[in-house]
C-alpha cells in the first residue's frame, strides 16, 4: 500500500519497525532513520526475511532541512516520529513542506523546559488542515491507547462520562536494585514534578507523589499508585464532553521511591551544574552515566504491565462503571521483538495509528489526538497486533478503596 519513514532508532522504533513488517500489505517499505546509522542498521539486521522492504538512513531530526531531504528521497506517505519529544516540531515542519502525514507518541517539549503541553503542536492545526494532511498526536499507549479506550467507552457504553482514572502499572522486575526503564532524566523529571488533575473546569495541583492509593491490579496484585500529571489529561479534558474529573495514576515501588528520594536528597538528581575538577557537570547527567543503560533492561525484565481506564458515567439514565485495560508480559514482548513491554506498548499503537492513516480510516486533515477518531478499527487492531484488551463492568473504583 505504501511507504513509512520511521524517525528514531531506540526501543520504541525497534518495536514499530518489527510491527510494520508484520503488516506488509500496508507497509510495503519502511525506512529507519536516526542520527546514529549503526542503531538503524542493528534494527534492520533483525528484520531479514520480512516481506516489507527495509532501508536505513542517517538524519539529524533537529534539522528540518535534513528531514525534508530524506522525505524527498524516500517519498513515504507518512512519518512515524519516535525520536525525542524535542524534535516533534522540526519533523512536523518537514511533513508540511513535503506533503506527508505525521504520527508521534509524545508531545513536543521545549529543550530544557520540561512542559507537558499540546499548545505548540495544536498551533499547527490550520496548516495541516490546509495542506490536506493528517497529524496524529500521541499514538502510543499513554497517551494513545488510553485515549482510544475513552473514545470507545464514550461511543458504546455511555451517554455521559463523568470521571476517568487512568491507571498505569508496571509489575516488571529487572533484578537491579535501581534502574529507570527509559531515559532516566525524563523518568526522574516526571515523578519529581507536581501532580495535577482536572476537576470541574479546573486544574488542581498536588505536591509530588503526595496523593497515593492502593489498587489491586489483575495479574499484578495490589500496588501503590500515585497521582501524576500526564499529557493525555489535557486533550481528554477537552475532547470527552461533559467530563467532571480526570486523573492519572502510576505505580512506583517503595524501593524505587526510596532510591529516588535519596538521590534527590544528596543532590544527584539536580540539573544545576556543580564544579568538579575544574569542569561544570550536571549531577543528573552523571547519575545517568552511572545507572544501568535502559536498553540493557530488556532481556532481564520479568513480569507484566497493566494499563487501563476506569470510567464512571451515565447510560440511559442509569449510573454505569466500566474498566478497559491491557495486560502485557515483558518476557513475551522481548521474545517477539527484542524489546520489553514499556517499548512494546508504545510501539504497537504507533504502528496501528500509522496503519489506519495509510488505510484511509483515520485520515482527517488537521492535527488531532487519538480520541478524536473512530475508536473501533484501532480497538480491533489492538487485539490483532499484540495488545488485546479486557473489559470489566463492575470494577473497584479508586475512591472506594
Binding site residues, a second copy, CB under 8 A: 177-178, 258-259, 262-263, 265-268, 274-277, 281, 283, 285-287, 289-291
Q: If DSSP codes are grouped into helix, strand and coil, which group holds residue 77?
A: coil
Task: Tell the smallest beta-carbon distance from residue 90 to a second copy (Å).
Answer: 24
Query: Which one, 184 or 313, has the nearer CB to a second copy?
Result: 184
Residues 6+ apart with CB under 8 A from 81: 7, 8, 61, 87, 88, 91, 102, 103, 104, 105
Q: How far is the CB of 297 from a second copy (least distance, A)?
A: 14
Minimum CB distance to a second copy, residue 261 (Å): 8
Pairing of β 212-217 and β 221-228: antiparallel
User: Secondary structure of the chain: what % helix, strand, coil (to 5)?
Assistant: 40, 30, 35
What is the rounded CA–CA span in Å between residue 80 and residue 17?
10
Q: How far is the CB of 181 from a second copy (least distance, A)?
A: 15
Nearer to a second copy, 132 or 267 (CB): 267
φ, ψ (nearest 5 deg) of residue 2:
180, -165
Closest separation in Å from C-beta 174 to a second copy: 13
Q: How far is the CB of 276 from a second copy (least distance, A)?
A: 5
Say how far apart CA 49 and CA 176 lie, in whole Å. Answer: 35
Residue with the three cell numbers 527509559: 182
Q: How far is CA 51 from CA 28, 148, 351, in A?
A: 8, 29, 16
Cβ-based neighbour number of residue 350 at 10 Å: 29
What minimum distance in Å lies between the beta carbon of 69 and a second copy? Answer: 30
d(CA 348, CA 389): 13
Cβ 178 to a second copy, closest distance in Å? 5
Closest to a second copy by CB, 102 or 256: 256
Q: How far is CA 101 from CA 21, 67, 308, 347, in A?
A: 19, 14, 28, 18
- DSSP, collapsed to helix, strand or coil, labels residue 170 as strand
Q: Any idea what DSSP says for residue 123?
A: T
Q: Residue 134's beta-bridge partner residues?
A: 366
Of the pair 130, 296, the CB lying nearest a second copy is at: 296
- Using CA atoms, how far apart are residues 367 and 133, in angstroms rounded to an integer? 8
Q: How far is the CB of 304 from a second copy (least distance, A)?
A: 24
How far out from the chain centre does Cα 156 lie?
25
The nearer residue to a second copy, 112 or 279, going by C-beta atoms, is 279
Amino acid at each position: 500500500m505504501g511507504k513509512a519513514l520511521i524517525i528514531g532508532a531506540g526501543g520504541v522504533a525497534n518495536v514499530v519497525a518489527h510491527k510494520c513488517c508484520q503488516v506488509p500489505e500496508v507497509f510495503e517499505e519502511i525506512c529507519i532513520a536516526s542520527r546514529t546509522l549503526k542503531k538503524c542498521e542493528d534494527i534492520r539486521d533483525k528484520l531479514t526475511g520480512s516481506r516489507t522492504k527495509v532501508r536505513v538512513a542517517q538524519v539529524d531530526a533537529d534539522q528540518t532541512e535534513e528531514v525534508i531531504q530524506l522525505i524527498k528521497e524516500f517519498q513515504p506517505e507518512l512519518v512515524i516520529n519516535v525520536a525525542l519529544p524535542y524534535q516533534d516540531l522540526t519533523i512536523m515542519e518537514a511533513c508540511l513542506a513535503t506533503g506527508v502525514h505525521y504520527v508521534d507518541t509524545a508531545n513536543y517539549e521545549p529543550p530544557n523546559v520540561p512542559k507537558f503541553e499540546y499548545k505548540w503542536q495544536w498551533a499547527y492545526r490550520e496548516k495541516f488542515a490546509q495542506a490536506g494532511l493528517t497529524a496524529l498526536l500521541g499514538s502510543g499507549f499513554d497517551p494513545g491507547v488510553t485515549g482510544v479506550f475513552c473514545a470507545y467507552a464514550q461511543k458504546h457504553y455511555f451517554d455521559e462520562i463523568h470521571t476517568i482514572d487512568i491507571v498505569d502499572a508496571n509489575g516488571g522486575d529487572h533484578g537491579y536494585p535501581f534502574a529507570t526503564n527509559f531515559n532516566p532524566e525524563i523518568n526522574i523529571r516526571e515523578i519529581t514534578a507536581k501532580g495535577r488533575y482536572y476537576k470541574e473546569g479546573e486544574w488542581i495541583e498536588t505536591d509530588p507523589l503526595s496523593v497515593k492509593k492502593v489498587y489491586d491490579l489483575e495479574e499484578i496484585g495490589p500496588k501503590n499508585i500515585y497521582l501524576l500529571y500526564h499529557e493525555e489529561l489535557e486533550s481528554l479534558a477537552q475532547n470527552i464532553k461533559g467530563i467532571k474529573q480526570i486523573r492519572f495514576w502510576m505505580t512506583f515501588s517503595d524501593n524505587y521511591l526510596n532510591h529516588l528520594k535519596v538521590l534527590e536528597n544528596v543532590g544527584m538528581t539536580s540539573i544545576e551544574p556543580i564544579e568538579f575538577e575544574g569542569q561544570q557537570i550536571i549531577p543528573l547527567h552523571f547519575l545517568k552515566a552511572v545507572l544501568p543503560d535502559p536498553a540493557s533492561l530488556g532481556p532481564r525484565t520479568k513480569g507484566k504491565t497493566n494499563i487501563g481506564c476506569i470510567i464512571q458515567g451515565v447510560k440511559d439514565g442509569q449510573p454505569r462503571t466500566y474498566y478497559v485495560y491491557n495486560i502485557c508480559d515483558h518476557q513475551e514482548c522481548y521474545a517477539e521483538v527484542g524489546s520489553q513491554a514499556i517499548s512494546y506498548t508504545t510501539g504497537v499503537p504507533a504502528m496501528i495509528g500509522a496503519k489506519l492513516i495509510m488505510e484511509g480510516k483515520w485520515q482527517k486533515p488537521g492535527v488531532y489526538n487519538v480520541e478524536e477518531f473512530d475508536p473501533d478499527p484501532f480497538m480491533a487492531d489492538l487485539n490483532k497486533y499484540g495488545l488485546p484488551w479486557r473489559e470489566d463492568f463492575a470494577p473497584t473504583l479508586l475512591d472506594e478503596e
